[in-house]
Amino acid sequence: MKRLLKNFRTPITGKQKRSVYFAALSGLFVAQVTNTKSEDEGKKKQHVMMDSAKEALDKAKHFIGAKKESAQAQLESGKQKGADTVASMAAGAQTTADSITPRLKEGVETVKEKSKDAAKKLENVASDTSQQHAREAQVHAKASERQQQMKDDIGKAQQQRYEQQHTADGRWEKEEDTLGSRRELRSRLYGAVNDELGPANASLKGQNPPGDSASLKKRILEGSSTLIQSFPATKDITLQLCDIMWYGHDVNRQVETHLYCSRMNDDFHQCVMYDENGNKPRMIGMKYIISEKLFSMLPDEEKRLWHSHKYDVESGILAIPRGLPMAENSLLKDLVNTYGKTFLTWQVDAGDSLPLGVPQLMMAFTDDGQVNANVLQKRDSHLSVDTVERRRQRLNTVHGHDILDGANAWETGEVFQISLAKLPVTTVTG
């Protein structure tokens, strides 16, 4: 109070002091009362808040406890369910095992029985196979015997023909001494034929055979036969070849040949030979084509009559007219290792208009520089082919094996050719 009175700068009286004191005291009392009430209300509010917090805390504890109990109950329930499930699965597995076990045992027994049956079958198959091998060995042995017998028979026949040839050669030499050269004998033969044909057909030279044109009646009769006959031999012709061949004793006489071949089996072709592939060609000979397997089986005497096709195919001289490229390549790979035996029955290169004289053994080329360029160019013109280009194409695609011994005998200096010989007549006996 005294500090309060000191704040007044104007001096005050005693009455004023009392009034001030009274007012101050009144204010202090009011403030004291007010502070007391405020403290009481604060304490009450504090107690209320404490009670509320305690109640909330109790509720939270109760909620947490309830949740904990629920979780514990669920856990126990889950454990029980899991245990029940596991037990159920175990029981199911045991049931399945109990049901499968007999079937497994039955299956094992079945497998054992089947294994025994299979073993017996294998034994039977092995026995059959052994017997089959034995039979095949017997067949092979018999085939070998037959093959050897065939070789022996062919060898004997070849030897007989060889002896006959020597005899004929001796007779021929005697005739040559008497009548002159073989060319003179051939001209005399032609002359005899000319005399028989008469003056109207005295010339045997020319492209076409001498003779009158076929009458209409003959053409009709022969044409009508095509309505009845089937000509199976010609239907088997499935391959056309073109080659240039030469006389086995004279490489300078080269002939363009067109071959129409039928396959007898995988190792053998037989071919009819013509001088061209146009209308009304002249049949001038025949040819046989065999595989190297069959050639290797021939006696040495027989092999001298055969020639190889290796150079003919690789050089492009042997052609397949109008052949499909893919099919032609496959055929050439087959032909390149084959061997041929060819006889010319009509010497068209000499200008003969008829097939005169004896057949001539023909050979094939084996190396560059042997073929006549003019003959080859003429052949290429006929077929519209290019031999040089064909050779280039075959260079990397067609390769033959090494030529077997015995073929192309002329390369060894031995030349063989057919000649006409007089032989004694063999009469029928018994």
Q: Report the relative pairing of strands 339-344 and 307-308 from DSSP bridges.
A: antiparallel
Amino acid identity, position 201? N
- Greater confidence, 372 or 215? 372
pLDDT at 20 > cutoff 70: no
Report d(CA 206, CA 407) in Å as an integer.
35
Does 400 fall in a domain? yes
pTM for the structure as a whole: 0.53
Does 142 fall in a domain? no
pLDDT one-digit tens code per residue, 139-185? 667 766 766 766 676 566 556 655 655 554 454 455 445 444 444 54
- Greater confidence, 177 or 397? 397
Which of the 8 DSSP states describes residue 93?
Answer: H
Neighbours of 123 (CB within 10 A): 10
Structure tokens at 344: 């010319």
Report d(CA 169, CA 280) in Å as an integer.
38
Q: Give the model's pLDDT for residue 191.
A: 40
The 3-state DSSP class for residue 420 equals: coil
Does 353 fall in a domain? yes
Backbone angles phi, psi at 177, to 5 degrees: -60, -35
Does 17 fall in a domain? no
Closest CA to 258 of 243, 248, 238: 243
The 3-state DSSP class for residue 268 equals: strand
- Greater confidence, 8 or 146? 146
* Exposure string over 56-75, b if 16+ CB within 10 A, otherwise e: eeeeeeeeeeeeeeeeeeee
Does 102 fall in a domain? no
Q: Hunting for tokens 């095992």 — which residue is that?
A: 97
Q: Are the CB atoms for 416 and 361 separated by under 8 Å?
A: yes
Strand ranges for 352-427 from DSSP E: 360-363
Closest CA to 260 of 227, 284, 291, 290: 284
Neighbours of 383 (CB within 10 A): 16
Does 165 fall in a domain? no
Does 64 fall in a domain? no
Of 185-199, 328-342, 380-394, give the lowest mean pLDDT range: 185-199
Neighbours of 160 (CB within 10 A): 10
Report d(CA 203, CA 205) in Å as an integer.
6
pLDDT one-digit tens code per residue, 215-267? 666 666 556 666 666 677 778 888 999 999 999 999 999 999 999 999 999 99
* Exposure string over 196-229, b if 16+ CB within 10 A, otherwise e: eeeeebeebeeeeeeeeeeeeeeeeeeeeeeeee
**Given CA atoms 410, 412, 413, 415 in this order, what sign does their dihedral have?**
negative
16 confidence band (pLDDT: 50, 70, 90): low
> Which stretch of DSSP H or E encloses residue 3?
helix 2-6
Domain of 393 in residue numbering reads as: 235-412
Report d(CA 165, CA 422) in Å as an integer.
10
Q: What are the Cα distances from residue 105, in Å, to 90, 101, 119?
A: 22, 6, 21
Q: Give the model's pLDDT for residue 229.
A: 66
Does 181 fall in a domain? no
Q: Give the model's pLDDT for residue 322.
A: 83
Report d(CA 318, CA 342) in Å as an integer.
14
- Counted domains in the chain: 1
Q: Are the CB atoms for 261 and 239 separated by under 8 Å?
A: yes
Q: Give the model's pLDDT for residue 376.
A: 95
Long-range contacts (CB closer than 8 Å, 24 or more residues apart) made by 227-231 = none
Q: Which residues pair with 290 in a beta bridge?
A: 268, 339
Structure tokens at 161: 């023909």
